[in-house]
A and B are shown apart, each in its own frame.
Chain A
Amino acid sequence: MTKKREIDDVTGVETTGHEWDGIKELNKPLPRWWLLTFYASIIWSVGYWIVYPAWPLANDYTRGIWGYSQRATVAAEVKAGIDAQAAMRQKLDQTPLADVRKDPELLRFASAAGSASFQTNCAPCHGRGAQGFTGYPNLNDDDWIWGGTVEEIHKTLLHGIRTGDDQARAIQMPKFGVDKLLDDAKINDVAEYTMSLAGKASDATAAGRGAAVYKEQCALCHGDDGKGKIDQGAPNLTDAIWLYGGTKEQVVESIRTGRGGMMPAWGPRLDSTTLKSLAVYVHSLGGGK
């Protein structure tokens, strides 16, 4: 079917023969290099279909003979990253916790690894700077309810606090008010005595009455001098740090309800190297004993 070529008079260019309202379309083909590139891309795409994942199927997709997947690539990169740390991780595994800080390089590695893990796992409760919130201890300071040596911190991390784990920090302060162990007047007196222990303004008479109640009910755990006992998880009542607040009302509330926060056990969730580096990191924040 040969058609006669029609040449447009004005431009001298061949027309395509298409005509709309008397206007004819000039035949201006794409540049040859462009077309060749276009065809080459089509041929290239066939190869792409074969080697790479390409076509969606009902429940799957064509995998391609190279078996490429982005997830596998990421997994390989993560593994490569961990493998690159193998020597340091092994060294950390073999070094006793207390000795980690004696090796500057190891301390730096463990602190960095611990910091990263802290941001992911611990920051939601303790804050990004480990500064804590009311009820969630500040890990930077030197006041440790359950002990501030690196080993004690590690133990707390492993088993948590009041988790039901048989090695967890489990001791719970009695709910003196809620369980009606003390009446409101006595709770008030003990609170006044507690304020006096911390050197805060208090009603001397009430505090005097509270001293007897304290000796009877509180001294066993918090100590006769009120300095607390780490093995009981009983906080120091004489210092400047108050986990649940140091006003009279907050102290009354603490005695009434017994407080007692809960921290998850991380032993079952994180690997031993990470737990170790977390302990080193928390210890290195400045308050570690």
Chain B
Amino acid sequence: MTTVLDKRHGTDATQVAGDVVVHDVEAVNKAERRPLYAARPKVHPKLASGTFRTLKWLVMAITLAVYYGLPWLRWYRGPDLPDQAVLLDMANNRYFFFFLEIWPQEFYYITGLLVLGALALFLATAVAGRVWCGYSCPQTVWTDLMVTVERFWQGDRNARIRLDKEPWRPSKIFKKVMTHLSWLFIGLVTGGALVFYFRDAPTLAVELVTGTAPAIAYLFLGIFAFSTYLLGGIAREQVCIYMCPWPRIQGAMTDRYTLLVSYKPERGEPRGPARKGKDGIVDWTTRGDCIDCKACVAVCPTGIDIRDGSQLECIQCALCIDACNEIMEKIGRPKGLIDYDTVAKQEAKSKGEHEPHKFVRARTLLYAGVMALVGAVMLVVWFNRTTLEINVLRDRNPPFVRLSDGGVRNGYTVKILNKLHEPHVYTLRPDGIPGATMRILGLEDQAEPKINVATDALREIRVLVTVPAASLSALSGTSHDFSIVVRDADTGSEKRRATSFQSGGGNTP
């Protein structure tokens, strides 16, 4: 029996039906008393059990496993590159995600992913309310983990309430200290896992333990350990209610057709303890199914009463559905007094009509459409991603140099980006400029200069293009447009970049 028997109150505990007893609990944000400032009433969530609790355990296991395990996953990219599947290599400005590799100037891929993430969040919210908040938000997952640890050391809701009221004696000190130590340990491991995303995990793990890791690693480990302890262990639902902007935004994301965790007042009211009649049977025809046992409030991680309607504090974790279903089963009433439901369906039901569920509507179509569009754009951009890039910067000062034989020379800084996972050799040539000769600084002794660019690197070279006096007349005006072409000597692929040649029109600079 998971039904709470609040023994402290002894005779005060009211039996509402059979062996179901009223929980001594009140919603923290009850409408009657909402002062402008109030100290936080401590919430002691009771362990629920049922479909959604199981689902939440599963989501917690998966998300935590991904978070802690991902940095240890290996992905071979070649001998000169890191083999960590997900690595944000800040020191070398490379970001690796499995087969993806992103250079700093390609950060728009991350922007695209964030836009997709935001749209997915909107879509999920439009369909089923705050599913992100209720199941997979790190704040929810870690709070759930911290509460589980607290429950392990201090017991479930009633035991914890009792413990809090107890005077400080060794057993209480032990339980409290062990809880906080466990939270701090979880915090440390969380912060520890975070820094692994930024540096080769096996190397950094050894460095962290031996005290040879970079100071920044310890700093971020400390910051995240502390914030995990503070936000997950201490602040908990306060983060969702007061710090997070999402509850404010979500109001605009839901509509009449959004599935929300809701209490069905048309079925539950009038509520009250189920008193048996003379025949020993409760007469359900004259009353609602809600026996006001407050099991739904007791399990709520933000300490609210779902029966007050949809509210900002509700993270839609659905634990109240589990709690209520358990009670309904016990008193022999149909499950689903609290359930995922839509406003439209509830309205229809109260009029005795049936309203089919509408997943497909303008809002969800729009979100899905924009997601498809952004996804398609990203795919196109990704498949057109080049592994060879060239940038050409023409010298501005001096714009051109007149040589003693009357020829004119222009200087260029050329940057060759080799995004391939092995060193490559490139050649350069000017295209579309008659009579011009090209010289690459430092490679003058080669007849056809071969430019070696290391794996996954950028090489900057100085290129001098000279047009002899005799060919100057063949140029179009004082500014002649042409291209510098880089050719991969191994694959034969070419990349060109347009620039111009300044001849000065006979002026001496």
Tell me the A residues contacting B by CB distance below 8 Å.
Answer: 101-102, 104, 107-108, 127-131, 138, 140-143, 236, 239-242, 246, 284-287
| Interface band, chain B | 20 to 34
Task: Using A101-B442, A107-B441, A131-B398 as known contacts, say yes or no to A286 and B409 having CB atoms under 8 A apart.
Answer: yes
Chain B residues with CB below 8 A from A246, complex form: 508
Q: Is the CB of A284 within 8 A of B411?
A: no
Q: Could you write out 21 A-B pairs with CB less than 8 Å apart? A: A101-B442, A127-B398, A131-B398, A131-B509, A138-B398, A138-B401, A138-B509, A140-B398, A140-B409, A141-B404, A142-B404, A143-B403, A236-B404, A240-B402, A240-B404, A240-B406, A241-B402, A284-B441, A284-B462, A286-B409, A287-B401
Please, what's the 1-or-0 string for B390-429, where 1 marks a CB less than 8 Å from any CB in chain A?
A: 0000011110011111100101000000000000000000
How distant is the Cα of A286 from the Cα of B464 in the complex, in angstroms? Answer: 7
Q: Which residue of A lies closest to B506 (CB)?
A: A240
Chain A residues with CB below 8 A from B406, complex form: 239-240
Kindly identify which residue among A104, A107, A140 contacts B401, using a CB–CB cutoff of 8 Å. Answer: A140
Q: How far is the CB of B407 from chain A (nearest CB, A)?
A: 8
Kindly identify which residue among A138, A140, A142 contacts B411, using a CB–CB cutoff of 8 Å. Answer: A140
Q: Which residue of A lies closest to B509 (CB)?
A: A131
Q: How far is the CB of A216 from chain B (nearest CB, A)?
A: 26
> 3 nearest interchain CB pairs?
A129-B397, A239-B404, A131-B398
Q: State the total of A-B contacts with C-beta under 8 angstroms.
A: 64
Q: Which residue of B lies closest to A240 (CB)?
A: B406
Q: Is the CB of A143 within 8 A of B404?
A: yes
How distant is the Cα of A128 from the Cα of B439 in the complex, in angstroms? Answer: 23
Q: Is the CB of B403 within 8 A of A141?
A: yes
Q: Which residue of B lies closest to A227 (CB)?
A: B404
Chain A residues with CB below 8 A from B405, complex form: 239-240
Kindly identify which residue among A102, A129, A140 contacts B396, using a CB–CB cutoff of 8 Å. Answer: A129
Please, what's the 1-or-0 string for B426-449, where 1 marks a CB less than 8 Å from any CB in chain A?
A: 000000000000010110000000
Chain A residues with CB below 8 A from B460, complex form: 108
Please, what's the 1-or-0 string for B451-485, where 1 marks a CB less than 8 Å from any CB in chain A?
A: 00000000010101000010000000000000000
Chain B residues with CB below 8 A from A107, complex form: 441-442
A107-B442, A141-B402 known, 14 other contacts, Cβ within 8 Å: A107-B441, A129-B395, A129-B396, A130-B398, A131-B401, A131-B509, A140-B398, A143-B404, A240-B405, A242-B508, A284-B441, A284-B442, A286-B401, A286-B411
Chain B residues with CB below 8 A from A284, complex form: 441-442, 462
Q: How far is the CB of B457 from chain A (nearest CB, A)?
A: 13
Q: How far is the CB of A91 from chain B (nearest CB, A)?
A: 16
Pick the most buried of B404, B441, B460: most chain A CB atoms within 10 A of its CB: B404
Kindly identify which residue among B397, B442, B462 contacts A131, using a CB–CB cutoff of 8 Å. Answer: B397
Chain A residues with CB below 8 A from B441, complex form: 101, 107, 284, 286
Q: Is the CB of A241 within 8 A of B397?
A: no
Chain B residues with CB below 8 A from A285, complex form: 411
Q: Which residue of A lies closest to B452 (CB)?
A: A104
Chain B residues with CB below 8 A from A242, complex form: 508
Q: Is the CB of A104 within 8 A of B442?
A: yes
Chain A residues with CB below 8 A from B442, complex form: 101-102, 104, 107, 284
Q: Is the interface of A mostly helix, strand, loop or mixed?
A: loop
Chain A residues with CB below 8 A from B396, complex form: 129
Q: How far is the CB of A2 from chain B (nearest CB, A)?
A: 34
Q: Which residue of A lies closest to B460 (CB)?
A: A108
Q: Which residue of B lies closest to A100 (CB)?
A: B442
Chain A residues with CB below 8 A from B462, complex form: 284, 286
Chain B residues with CB below 8 A from A104, complex form: 442
Kindly identify which residue among A108, A129, A142 contacts B398, using a CB–CB cutoff of 8 Å. Answer: A129
Chain A residues with CB below 8 A from B439, complex form: 286
Kindly identify which residue among B397, B401, B403 contacts A127, using a CB–CB cutoff of 8 Å. Answer: B397
Q: Which residue of A lies closest to B462 (CB)?
A: A284
Q: How far is the CB of A251 from chain B (nearest CB, A)?
A: 14
How distant is the Cα of A129 from the Cα of B398 in the complex, in angstroms? Answer: 6
Q: Which residue of B lies closest to A236 (CB)?
A: B404
How distant is the Cα of A224 from the Cα of B37 in the complex, in angstroms? Answer: 100
Q: Which residue of B lies closest to A246 (CB)?
A: B508
Q: Which residue of A lies closest to B445 (CB)?
A: A102
Chain A residues with CB below 8 A from B395, complex form: 129
Q: How far is the CB of A32 from chain B (nearest CB, A)?
A: 16
Q: Which residue of B lies closest to A140 (CB)?
A: B401
Chain B residues with CB below 8 A from A239, complex form: 404-406
Chain B residues with CB below 8 A from A140, complex form: 398, 401, 409, 411
Q: How far is the CB of B441 from chain A (nearest CB, A)?
A: 6
Q: How far is the CB of A263 from chain B (nearest CB, A)?
A: 19
How distant is the Cα of A130 from the Cα of B395 in the complex, in angstroms? Answer: 12
Task: Using A107-B442, A286-B409 as known contacts, say yes or no to A128 and B509 having CB atoms under 8 A apart.
Answer: no
How distant is the Cα of A57 from the Cα of B163 in the complex, in angstroms? Answer: 61
Q: How far is the CB of A252 from chain B (nearest CB, A)?
A: 18
Q: Is the CB of B401 within 8 A of A141?
A: yes
Q: How far is the CB of A172 from chain B (nearest CB, A)?
A: 23
How distant is the Cα of A239 from the Cα of B406 in the complex, in angstroms? Answer: 7
Q: How far is the CB of A139 from chain B (nearest CB, A)?
A: 10
How distant is the Cα of A247 from the Cα of B441 in the complex, in angstroms? Answer: 34
Q: Is the CB of A142 within 8 A of B397?
A: no
How distant is the Cα of A168 from the Cα of B456 in the complex, in angstroms? Answer: 48
Kindly identify which residue among A108, A130, A131, A240 contacts B403, using a CB–CB cutoff of 8 Å. Answer: A240
Chain A residues with CB below 8 A from B403, complex form: 141-143, 240-241, 287
Q: Which residue of B lies closest to A238 (CB)?
A: B404
Q: Which residue of B lies closest to A141 (CB)?
A: B401
Chain A residues with CB below 8 A from B402, complex form: 141, 240-241
Near A by CB (< 8 A), chain B positions 470-509 give 508-509
Q: Which residue of B lies closest to A241 (CB)?
A: B404
Chain A residues with CB below 8 A from B464, complex form: 286
Chain A residues with CB below 8 A from B409, complex form: 140-141, 286
Pick the most buried of A107, A143, A240: most chain B CB atoms within 10 A of its CB: A240
How distant is the Cα of A138 from the Cα of B402 in the complex, in angstroms? Answer: 9
Chain B residues with CB below 8 A from A236, complex form: 404
Q: How far is the CB of B39 from chain A (nearest CB, A)?
A: 15
Pick the most buried of B397, B441, B462, B508: most chain A CB atoms within 10 A of its CB: B441
Chain A residues with CB below 8 A from B404, complex form: 141-143, 236, 239-241
Chain B residues with CB below 8 A from A127, complex form: 397-398
How distant is the Cα of A104 from the Cα of B459 in the complex, in angstroms? Answer: 11
Q: How far is the CB of A99 from chain B (nearest CB, A)?
A: 12
Chain A residues with CB below 8 A from B401, complex form: 131, 138, 140-141, 286-287
Q: Which residue of A lies closest to B398 (CB)?
A: A131
How distant is the Cα of A1 from the Cα of B403 in the complex, in angstroms? Answer: 97
Q: How far is the CB of A104 from chain B (nearest CB, A)?
A: 6
Q: Which residue of A lies closest to B439 (CB)?
A: A286
Q: How far is the CB of B426 from chain A (nearest CB, A)?
A: 14
Q: How far is the CB of A163 from chain B (nearest CB, A)?
A: 26
